[in-house]
Amino acid sequence: MSEETPRQGKTTIAPDVLLTIARLSTLGVAGVAHMSPVPGGVNRLFRRGVGDGVRIDVKDQSVAVELYLVVKNDVNVQDVSRNVQAEVARAIHEMVGMEVLVVNVHIEDIAYPAMLGESQ
């Protein structure tokens, strides 16, 4: 009997895995307060991740990412956006080996701490 090298099987990545990587990578960047729901009409109801502030489009072995987030009030929005883009692209590429075509960041709001003495 001769020893044969086992054949390599196929690995598939569920879209929710990409959503999770993008969301957690974004939330890990300093200055991000939280994610914002993806804006839009009826079409958004049928897409995954819209409530998590992430929209992922996969074509072949490439990924396009749309992120909707709220940043903290004491940060440079441009710096936070660039850091989010770099971190999300790095995480997706390193974790699943897919090419990241684009990471678009949409700043939906700025989170300000509640005013002291403000009644609810």
pLDDT (tens, 9 = 90+) of the chain, 120 residues, equals 556 777 888 888 888 999 999 999 999 999 999 999 988 754 444 455 455 899 999 998 899 999 999 999 999 999 999 999 999 999 999 999 999 999 999 999 999 987 444 444
Residue 33: its H or E element: strand 32-35
pTM of the predicted model over 0.75: yes
Listing DSSP states for 45-96 in one string gives: GGSTTGGGTEEEEEETTEEEEEEEEEEETTS-HHHHHHHHHHHHHHHHHHHH
- Cα separation, 84 vs 71, in Å, equals 11
Instruction: Give the distance, in angstroms, between the CA of residue 79 and the centroid of all CA atoms in the same chain.
Output: 17
Domains of the chain from N-terminus onward = 15-111 (3.30.70.1350)
